[in-house]
């Protein structure tokens, strides 16, 4: 599977049954070449007009299944939210 294909899929949290969005990037371990995390933009400020000030970093261990249209993950959203 290519990263382009992953970017087209919607990430659904199995704990809350809510959409987290679509991945925009991935983290890769340079030494082994393994994918370590999916990076998903966080919720927008003021209806998305003012940009975003956080992102979700979902560890690859939390990915349950990758389907044709969605990526199913199991994680507490507060635990993976990174503010910048």
Per-residue pLDDT reduced to its tens digit, 23-65: 999 999 999 999 999 999 987 666 656 666 789 999 999 999 9
Name the nearest CA neighbour of 44 among 21, 73, 16, 66: 21
Q: 69 near 9, Cβ under 8 Å?
A: yes
pLDDT score recorded for residue 54: 85
pLDDT score recorded for residue 45: 65
Q: Which of these CATH numbers, 3.40.50.720, 3.90.950.10, 1.10.3210.10, 2.30.30.240, describes 3-83? A: 2.30.30.240
C-alpha distances in Å from residue 4, one per residue of 1, 36, 48: 8, 17, 24
Higher-pLDDT residue of 77, 49: 77
pLDDT score recorded for residue 2: 87
Kind and range of the H or E run holding 7: helix 3-7
Would you say the C-alpha torsion 44, 45, 49, 50 has a positive or negative sign?
negative
Model-level pTM?
0.82
Kind and range of the H or E run holding 51: none
């Amino acid at each position: 599977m290519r990263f382009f294909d992953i970017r087209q899929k919607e990430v659904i949290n199995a704990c809350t049954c809510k959409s987290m969005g679509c991945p925009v990037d991935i983290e890769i371990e340079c030494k082994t070449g393994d994918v370590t995390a999916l990076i998903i933009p966080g919720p927008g400020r003021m209806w998305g007009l003012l940009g975003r000030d956080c992102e979700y970093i979902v560890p690859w261990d939390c990915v349950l299944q990758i389907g044709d249209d969605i990526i199913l993950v199991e994680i507490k959203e507060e635990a993976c939210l990174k503010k910048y």
